[in-house]
Structure 1
Amino acid sequence: MHFHLKLASTSAISFSLLIVLRFHAIQAAITIPNNETIPAAIVFGDSIVDPGNNNYLQTTVQCNFPPYGRDFKGGISTGRFGNGKVPSDLLAEELGIKELLPAYLDPTLQIQDLLTGVSFASGGSGFDPLTAEIVSVLSLTDQLELFKEYIGKLKVAIGEDRTTNILSKSIFIVCTGSDDIANTYFTTPLRRDYDVPAYTDLMVRSASSFLQEIYNLGARRIGVFSAPPIGCVPSQRTLGGGEQRECAQTYNQAAKLFNFKLSSELNSLNDKLPHARLVYIDIYTPLLALIQNPAASGFEVVDRGCCGTGKIEVVILCNDLNPYTCTDVSKYLFWDSYHPAERTYKILLPQILRKYVNNFFCGKSPC
């Protein structure tokens, strides 16, 4: 795949643009070790962290229409898979980088936007290359090629040394794997020649290869999100949870096996790659805790999404014509049948960052 991004002419780039490398638009909400600054957030993955890249692809996996974005500023459907901000936005905001992390394929981006980071994520993608192929979205290989293009644009704009510095000090996030388990493995017959241990091995091999690729391109501080308790997502309760729509435990067991292998692989890569800070970020445990004890955080509904009946609607099935969409999304942990609501992310992201932020800077040594 080939993609082109319209940028401001490099001849128009002045020294003033470089100021964004040294000043953040907002104040960091968490404490960064050693008074370090983080110049950019760079994100790869799937719909959880896609701020609109799929808007520019020929795919049905899109959500740039109401009621998506209902609680986004201006009530705009940006292509984010939720009612408001997504984790990539909240990450950039919590780290004091900027309020929103844009989609790399957005043709209106300027060099100032690139300097502080973008998301290459594509809804429907996965570690398994087949996952993206099934729904015609950006695979991790495609996202890697866009990242190479991005690096080239930075080098033209600010030079190789400054580009290297940005990459080495930025926070990279990889968030994918759910669609591999929920869609490619359990829902289609395309990987039925694998059992769960073999398929999770395939996922981890792909993850490891991708992480080494971005490391070789200059990334050093890389956080990798675990798979969530995918069997407790409303759509998977509907498909695999029986008449009572309980959490589908076979899905959760697959996610836990993958997470164990992924964590081990990251430990191995940290030993192998000089100066790497690969951080395994457990999302499974805190999300499951919210699902199992929703009242503690003010949630009332965890087995259905707000959109439509909440049992199966996602992307094109979650539309403004559906008469069942809830009026008070704050009571719902999930926005649609697959994606958490913005309020869920706002509860999870700060606690996750507080737990793991030191690991990006200090590794195994205390800060």
Structure 2
Amino acid sequence: MKVILFFLYASLYLNCIEGAVTLPQNASVQAVIAFGDSLMDQGNNNHIKTIFKANFHPYGMDFTNGNPTGRFSNGKTLADFFAKGFGVKEYLPAYLDPLIQHKDLLTGVSFASGGAGYDPLTSKLSNVMSLSSQLEMFKQYIQKLKGNIGQEAAMNRITNSVFLVSAGTNDFLVNYFTFPMRRLQYDVPAYGNKLVKLASNFLQEIHKLGARRIVVFSTSAIGCIPIERTLAGGAQRICVDKYNKAAQFFNSMLKLELQVLASNLPQTRIAFSDFYKPLMNIIENPQQYGLEVTNRGCCGTGELETSYLCNKRMTRTCHNDSNFFFWDSLHPTEKGCDIFVNLVLPDMMKKLF
């Protein structure tokens, strides 16, 4: 079975590298629009008062001109690779970037905020933009489009966009398993169901505003993220089983809810994109993907450093970040993002078109 999986994943990865994954004939993606957390934050947190930032070195060291844009990576993020994968553009900009151009708005932006979650309390704890705040910015964005190209053209562009939604990880790691408030109110299944309802409400809201092709990412194997291995994985830094089980429960409920939504929302495609299983496969079989290290990040020790703890004055980076899946103790490297997008994009295309 492992041999079969190896050749399956290797085939998908090589096909994507060679450009074999393309949009189906007669399909058109005019823009990519992202919501959620730090996996999709292209620099929005630069412009709000929060400690969750990445607009300093060594973040961005492999980006264009070594520029720390606020992306939580050494280079490009998942959002960038998806924008390219859908044939839209090389880089997805942050909506709050003061230098954003009219042409950037036409082809999509990210409203995501590092530290955000489905639960409003999660964003409040991190002092970042909640999904409801991101939704308000999306409404502003639509009005700007209408002002620039007219109402009909603007709504046609929204209808022919792909929407990316990434949230849930912070709800468990920053909120539920760190602070007592939600644990006193809910057990894990009850909290997972609460998050699923909040996710469903958010998706229905963007649907009302014109979203018709939506990708919703599952929560990853949160117990295997380097910082959680360090904080809760014991002396051997093993994956934290209870965290992974919480993620698996949430993901299974989310997948079912998305199936219901897709059947009830007219002319809408909703793709559930599994982050959990591909990440576990990468972590357990790094050599299959040209990686060497998957249990810690490249920045500093890679076991705790993220955001302001990952800075050039206090930490050094690994010799070769292309050997690492994780850049800091939470977020993927550019290569890690590339590998993940190549793995999930073929299935995503089938579900959306």
TM-score tier, shorter chain, comes to: over 0.9
Match of 2:188 among 189, 192, 196: 196
Structure 1 counterpart of 2:321, one-letter code: V
Task: Specify every segment of 5 or more residues in structure 2 that has no aligned partner in the other structure, as ranges.
Answer: 1-18
Residue 344 of structure 2 is aligned to residue 347 of structure 1 = no
* Equivalent residue number for residue 60 of structure 1: 51
Contact 1:29 1:94 in 2 (8 A): no
- Provide the alpha-carbon RMSD of the alignment: 1.3
Structure 2 counterpart of 1:311, one-letter code: E
Query: In 1, distance between residues paired with 2:339 and 2:265?
Result: 33
Query: In 2, distance between residues paired with 1:53 and 1:348?
Result: 23
SS at match of 1:93: helix
Moved more, 107-116 or 203-212: 107-116
Residue 79 of structure 2 is aligned to residue 88 of structure 1 = yes
* Equivalent residue number for residue 252 of structure 1: 244
- How far the C-alpha of 1:29 sits from its partner, in A, is 6.4
Contact 1:224 1:278 in 2 (8 A): yes
Deviations 1:315-350 (A, max 9, x none): 000010234421211121110000011111111102
Alignment of 1:15-54 (within 5 A): 30-54=21-45
Query: In 2, distance between residues paired with 1:299 and 1:142?
Result: 37
Residue 22 of structure 2 is aligned to residue 69 of structure 1 = no
Query: In 2, distance between residues paired with 1:209 and 1:124?
Result: 20
TM-score w.r.t. length of structure 1: 0.89
Contact 1:30 1:95 in 2 (8 A): no
TM-score w.r.t. length of structure 2: 0.93
Alignment of 1:145-164 (within 5 A): 145-164=136-155
- Report the number of matched residues: 335
Structure 1 counterpart of 2:25, one-letter code: N
SS at match of 1:295: helix
SS at match of 1:35: coil
Structure 1 counterpart of 2:127, one-letter code: S
Query: In 1, distance between residues paired with 2:325 and 2:339?
Result: 10
Deviations 1:10-32 (A, max 9, x none): xxxxxxxxxxxxxxxxxx86321
Residue 272 of structure 2 is aligned to residue 280 of structure 1 = yes
Structure 2 counterpart of 1:356, one-letter code: M
Task: Specify every segment of 5 or more residues in structure 1 that has no aligned partner in the other structure, as ranges.
Answer: 1-27, 362-367
* Equivalent residue number for residue 297 of structure 1: 289
* Equivalent residue number for residue 224 of structure 2: 232
* Equivalent residue number for residue 268 of structure 1: 260
Match of 1:172 among 151, 163, 174: 163
Alignment of 1:55-134 (within 5 A): 55-134=46-125
Query: In 2, distance between residues paired with 1:229 and 1:73?
Result: 30
Q: Identity rate of aligned residues, in percent? A: 51
- How far the C-alpha of 1:198 sits from its partner, in A, is 0.8
Query: In 1, distance between residues paired with 2:338 and 2:51?
Result: 28
Q: Which 4+ runs in 1 deviate beyond 6 A?
A: none
- How far the C-alpha of 1:150 sits from its partner, in A, is 0.3
Match of 2:312 among 289, 301, 320: 320
Deviations 1:111-152 (A, max 9, x none): 111000000000000011111101111100000000000000
Query: In 2, distance between residues paired with 1:323 and 1:145?
Result: 38
Query: In 1, distance between residues paired with 2:109 and 2:76?
Result: 14
Contact 1:54 1:61 in 2 (8 A): yes
Query: In 1, distance between residues paired with 2:144 and 2:194?
Result: 33
* Equivalent residue number for residue 172 of structure 2: 181
Structure 1 counterpart of 2:58, one-letter code: P
- How far the C-alpha of 1:218 sits from its partner, in A, is 0.5
Structure 2 counterpart of 1:79, one-letter code: G
Query: In 2, distance between residues paired with 1:29 and 1:317?
Result: 40
Structure 2 counterpart of 1:75, one-letter code: G
Structure 2 counterpart of 1:37, one-letter code: S
Contact 1:32 1:358 in 2 (8 A): no
Match of 1:214 among 206, 215, 222: 206
Query: In 2, distance between residues paired with 1:126 and 1:167?
Result: 24
Match of 2:321 among 314, 323, 329: 329
The structure-2 alpha-carbon separation of the partners of 1:348 and 1:34, relative to structure 1 and needing over 3 Å to count, comes to same
Contact 1:29 1:93 in 2 (8 A): no
* Equivalent residue number for residue 4 of structure 1: none
